[in-house]
Amino acid sequence: MVSVDDVARLHRDAILIDDVCPLLADRRYVDWYREGGFTAVAPTVAIYENAWQTVKELGAWHAYVARNSPCVIIRRAADIEAAKREGKLGLILHFQNTDPVENDLNLINAYKELGVGVMQLCYNVQNRVGAGATERDDRGLSVFGDAFIARCNEARVIIDCSHTGRQTTLDAIAASERPVIISHANPKGVFDCPRNIDDVQIRAIADKGGVIGVVGFPQFLGNETRPTLDRYIDHIAYLINVAGAEHVCLGIDYFRYQHPVATEQDARAMYDAAIASGKWTPDAYPPPPYYYPAGIETPRTMLNLTRGLVARGFDEPTIRRIYGQNLLRVYREVWGG
**Model confidence pLDDT, tens digit, residues 8-41:** 999 999 999 999 999 999 999 999 999 999 999 9
- 2: pLDDT strictly greater than 90: no
SS3 label, residue 162: coil
Per residue in 128-168, pLDDT (tens digit) is 999 999 999 999 999 999 999 999 999 999 999 999 999 99
| % of the chain beyond a pLDDT of 90 | 97
- What is the reported pLDDT for 43? 98
- 5: pLDDT strictly greater than 80: no
Residues in the chain: 337
Answer whether the bond into residue 289 is a cis peptide, omega within 30°: yes
Per residue in 214-226, pLDDT (tens digit) is 999 999 999 999 9
Report the candidate in 203, 198, 205, 135 with the shortest Cα–Cα distance to residue 165: 135
The number of distinct structural domains making up the chain is: 1
Per residue in 303-331, pLDDT (tens digit) is 999 999 999 999 999 999 999 999 999 99
User: Domain with 314 in it: what CATH number?
Assistant: 3.20.20.140
- 4: pLDDT strictly greater than 80: no
Residue ranges of alpha helices (H) inside 74-178 are 77-86, 106-113, 143-155, 166-175
Give Dmax (Cα) for the chain: 55
Q: Look over the chain and give the mean of its residue pLDDT values, rounded to a whole number.
A: 97
Q: Report the alpha-carbon distance of residue 271 to residue 290 in Å, rounded.
A: 11
- What is the reported pLDDT for 316? 97
Query: What average pLDDT score do residues 86-105 get?
Result: 98
Domain boundaries, position 50 = 4-335
Q: Report the alpha-carbon distance of residue 89 to residue 37 in Å, rounded.
A: 9
- What is the reported pLDDT for 76? 98
Tally Cβ neighbours within 10 Å of residue 148.
25
- 91: pLDDT strictly greater than 80: yes
- What is the reported pLDDT for 69? 79
- What is the reported pLDDT for 3? 72
pTM over 0.85: yes
- What is the reported pLDDT for 68? 77
Query: What average pLDDT score do residues 278-286 get?
Result: 95
Query: What average pLDDT score do residues 212-241 get?
Result: 97
62-66, 68-72, 254-258, 301-305, range with the lowest pLDDT:
68-72
Q: Half-sphere exposure of residue 33, counting CA atoms within 13 Å on the CB side?
A: 32
Query: What average pLDDT score do residues 272-279 get?
Result: 96
